Amino acid sequence: MSSEFDLIQQYFSKPTHHTVLGVGDDAALVSAAAGMQLAISTDMLVAGTHFFNDAAPYGIGWKALAVNVSDMAAMGAQPKWATLAIALPEVIEPWLAEFSRGFFACADTFNVDLIGGDTTRANNKNGLTISVQIMGEVPSGQALKRSGAQAGDDIWVSGELGSAALGLAHLQGKIVLKNELDFCLNALHTPTPRTTLGLALRDIATSCIDISDGLLADLGHILKASNCGATLNLEKIPCNDYFKLDLSNTELQKMLLAGGDDYELCFTASKAKRDEIISLSKQLNLPISIIGSTHADIDLQVDYRNNKVELIKQGFDHFA
Ligand code: ADP
Ligand code: MG
């Protein structure tokens, strides 16, 4: 049987591109460029909470890093380095091989070096836990934040929302997807963080967040930090075609507004930036849509065909 060090060597040591000293010593060494700040974030994935115990390991590996890359995108930071702490109930090498393949596929796509971590045994058979810390660079003072939205700003989102929530609902047996199934499962298991958009928004957006817990919950964070409110138009929210069957259905509304796992960016910008954002959307070949606007009153309202949408539960809160 492989030792812990053999496992690290085989599955978690890959050549790096912008690292002084990577896996293998007591700490990694990196050099931050002059004039840059480090953006640092951690996201943990727990079996049974963030993925099913029997989920395909490739997707778990991809997503463990992708959700962290998405946090860099939201800050307008260039992701560069990551560490990976993993608690494994048992060593199943084919599982580790696939996990590692997914993790490094994401690392290669977004040019992130894995520079260290920790590998330990979980003491319960469902205890698989994966914690990734990511570090990125942003020119000093230019990071995008949740605060900064001004009353009267447009509210934008990238891509389409709701596909991951549909995929999850399918796996939970709540709905049956047919044509959309592959697309929605891909959205759920191998999300695409919007790094290029995040970098471009540094000069454009007044605030930004990535949508991980659902549009309403995450936009709510922007509104709270920026001390303003918003009105959204449900029919303007870019969404998977499945929702267009019946947007008046409250279950579908809930999935679209509070579903989560989208990893799209939601940001605010002055109306004067519209043309710039539209040309950015063309340049990136990525839809970016205005879904509403901010206002001075501290409330969040969603309209659908000129009626208010009932906001049953604003997103997913792990401790609610
Ligand atoms: P120490 O006992 O000094 O903390 P470890 O034996 O835990 O060191 O780890 C040895 C080396 O392997 C370290 O450089 C550590 O960062 C790296 N490492 C351990 N686990 C992982 C992992 N899952 N992914 C990447 N690097 C890892
Ligand atoms: Mg250690």
- Tens of pLDDT, residue by residue over 50-84, are 988 889 999 999 999 999 999 999 999 999 999 99
From 8, 11, 88, the mutation candidate for ligand 1 (largest count of ligand atoms within 8 A of CB) is 8
Is any ligand 1 atom within 6 A of the Cβ of residue 118? yes
pLDDT > 90 in the chain, percent: 86
Compute the average pLDDT of residues 287-294: 98
Atom of ligand 1 nearest to the CA of 4: 6
Compute, in angstroms, the gap from residue 25 CA to the centroid of ligand 2: 10
Is any ligand 1 atom within 6 A of the Cβ of residue 3? no
**206 backbone dihedrals φ, ψ, rounded to 5°:** -95, -25
The pLDDT score that the predictor gives to residue 1 is 59
Is any ligand 1 atom within 6 A of the Cβ of residue 21? no
CA dist., res. 274 & res. 251, Å (int): 32
The pLDDT score that the predictor gives to residue 319 is 38
pLDDT greater than 80 at residue 13: yes
The pLDDT score that the predictor gives to residue 53 is 83
Compute the average pLDDT of residues 106-126: 95
pLDDT > 70 in the chain, percent: 97
pLDDT greater than 60 at residue 133: yes
Q: Give Cβ neighbours of residue 92 (< 8 Å, ≥ 6 apart).
A: none
CA dist., res. 259 & res. 215, Å (int): 8
- pTM recorded for the entire structure: 0.94
Structure tokens at 18: 């912008």
Compute the average pLDDT of residues 199-218: 96
| Average pLDDT of every residue of the chain | 94
pLDDT greater than 80 at residue 312: no
DSSP 51: B
The pLDDT score that the predictor gives to residue 320 is 34
Is any ligand 1 atom within 6 A of the Cβ of residue 25? yes
Q: Whose C-alpha lies nearest to ligand 1, atom 22?
A: 117
pLDDT greater than 80 at residue 260: yes
The pLDDT score that the predictor gives to residue 317 is 42
* Beta pairing, strands 113-121 & 78-88: parallel
Q: Which of 163, 190, 189 is nearest to 177 (CA)?
A: 163
DSSP alpha helix (H) spans, 76-132: 93-109
Amino acid at 220: G
What distance separates the 2 farthest-apart alpha carbons in the chain?
A: 65
Compute, in angstroms, the gap from residue 82 CA to the centroid of ligand 1: 12
Compute, in angstroms, the gap from residue 196 CA to the centroid of ligand 2: 34
Is any ligand 1 atom within 6 A of the Cβ of residue 84? yes
Is any ligand 1 atom within 6 A of the Cβ of residue 110? no
- Choose between 126 and 320: higher pLDDT: 126
Q: Whose C-alpha lies nearest to ligand 1, atom 5?
A: 118
From 4, 23, 84, 86, the mutation candidate for ligand 1 (largest count of ligand atoms within 8 A of CB) is 23
Q: Nearest ligand, CA of residue 26?
A: 1
Is any ligand 1 atom within 6 A of the Cβ of residue 26? yes
Compute the average pLDDT of residues 241-262: 91
Compute the average pLDDT of residues 293-298: 95
The pLDDT score that the predictor gives to residue 149 is 97
- Choose between 137 and 307: higher pLDDT: 137
Compute the average pLDDT of residues 180-207: 97
Q: Whose C-alpha lies nearest to ligand 1, atom 11?
A: 24
pLDDT greater than 60 at residue 318: no
